[in-house]
Amino acid sequence: RPEEHGLGERVRVRPDLAARGGYRAGEAVPGAIKLSSNESGHPPLPGVLEAISAASAEANRYPDNHATALRTALAERWAVSPDEVIIGCGSSLLCQELVQATCEPGDAVAFGWRSFEAYRLYAQTSHARAITVPNTPDGRLDLPVLAAACASADQVGVAFLCSPNNPTGAVITDDELTAFLEAVPKSVPVVVDEAYAEFATGVTPHAIDWYRAGWRNVVMLRTFSKAYGLAGLRVGYAIGAPELLHAVRAIRSPFNVSTVAQAAAIASLHAVDEMDKRVAGVAAGRRWVAERLRRLGLPVQDSEANFLWLPLGVHADAFAEHCRREGVIVRSFPPDGVRATISVQADNERLVDAASSWRHSAG
């Protein structure tokens, strides 16, 4: 019997991980439309499926671990050198690698709250501590307060500024970014997570301009998952100081961006016109949905991303549950609000219809 051999005992894991649930991914429900993960509602861009098919013929070989062709294409696009570009298996994994490359145990990861949930997760799982500062009441990152918190804290390993911010959609301004950079030590990497930057129609800083102007601690983080519509293939990238990227390479797992993903990313960079059209469509859809929801009397914050934030407070879960019954999956962040992705017009209409029936049922 197993017990006689001392078997049947629980397997030991890191005690701090036993109670953690990990990243909460937006779920897909058969038959419902998924507006909970800020994906693109379009199929891959023109030329991408052909590139995927050609690249899959090389599936017996490991991918290029350095993603040389993709890094070269991105370096050209952003007028930097390839050794200032690093590719990751999604920009979320790059967030984790950046934390691991910058934080020793007990060092701090600084970010606003709410912001992208993975920053907190990666701080916790890397034995770092989190410095968080609540957003302003209108959902904007409170950069002066975050800068003061960073300036007075011991050993800040890395700061994450998300613009447009997930889940609130707010952007930081040029002046806010400059003031933040002036206030924090120049040695602290400041990662500006621009996962949704392509959707911004208003004036918003692109971190690359600060990096090129000499702020060596600025890192621009981008992804192919949102505007480029390649969420399923997992490709993101960061541009920043070679010494930082060298440290990231020192900890990253090899071959974690597939040949197919690299080829698809390169092909999608060429589809400029179609990409512009789709992004403009999302911006128009965002205005349309925001106006409809506001007309229904729902609170909607201004957003520059491919989603809207409804600060519904304690009603967040009930709203999300109602939408789910109507076949529309949105993401609840109780007790603060709900985030709904802007997609193609048919999906946007379903969202507005679900919100409308919520208003009417709630009186």
Judged by the rule CB under 6 A, the positions of this chain that interact with ligand PMP are 38, 90-92, 116, 162, 166, 193, 195, 223, 225, 231, 236
CB of 122 to ligand PMP, least distance (A): 11
CB of 357 to ligand PMP, least distance (A): 28
CB of 162 to ligand PMP, least distance (A): 5
CB of 160 to ligand PMP, least distance (A): 9
Compare residues 166 and 332 and give the one whose CB is closer to ligand PMP. Answer: 166
**What are the tokens at 104?**
């020793």
Q: Tell me the one-letter amino acid at 301.
A: Q
CB of 89 to ligand PMP, least distance (A): 8
- Rounded to whole angstroms, the Cα distance separating 289 from 302 reads 11
- Rounded to whole angstroms, the Cα distance separating 328 from 350 reads 7
CB of 333 to ligand PMP, least distance (A): 12
Asked if 218 and 187 touch (Cβ cutoff 8 Å), the reply is no
CB of 118 to ligand PMP, least distance (A): 7
Compare residues 112 and 157 and give the one whose CB is closer to ligand PMP. Answer: 112
Compare residues 198 and 326 and give the one whose CB is closer to ligand PMP. Answer: 198
93-104 in b/e form (b: 16+ CB < 10 A) is bbbbbbbbbbbe
Helices (H), the chain: 48-56, 68-78, 91-102, 117-125, 143-152, 174-183, 207-212, 242-251, 259-270, 272-295, 316-325, 345-361
- Rounded to whole angstroms, the Cα distance separating 355 from 293 reads 7
Compare residues 40 and 91 and give the one whose CB is closer to ligand PMP. Answer: 91
6 burial class (0-12, 13-18, 19+ CB within 10 angstroms)?
Answer: exposed
- Rounded to whole angstroms, the Cα distance separating 38 from 92 reads 14
CA proximity to 305, closest of 172, 171, 140:
171
Compare residues 90 and 189 and give the one whose CB is closer to ligand PMP. Answer: 90
Compare residues 38 and 135 and give the one whose CB is closer to ligand PMP. Answer: 38
Compare residues 99 and 352 and give the one whose CB is closer to ligand PMP. Answer: 99
- Rounded to whole angstroms, the Cα distance separating 172 from 153 reads 23
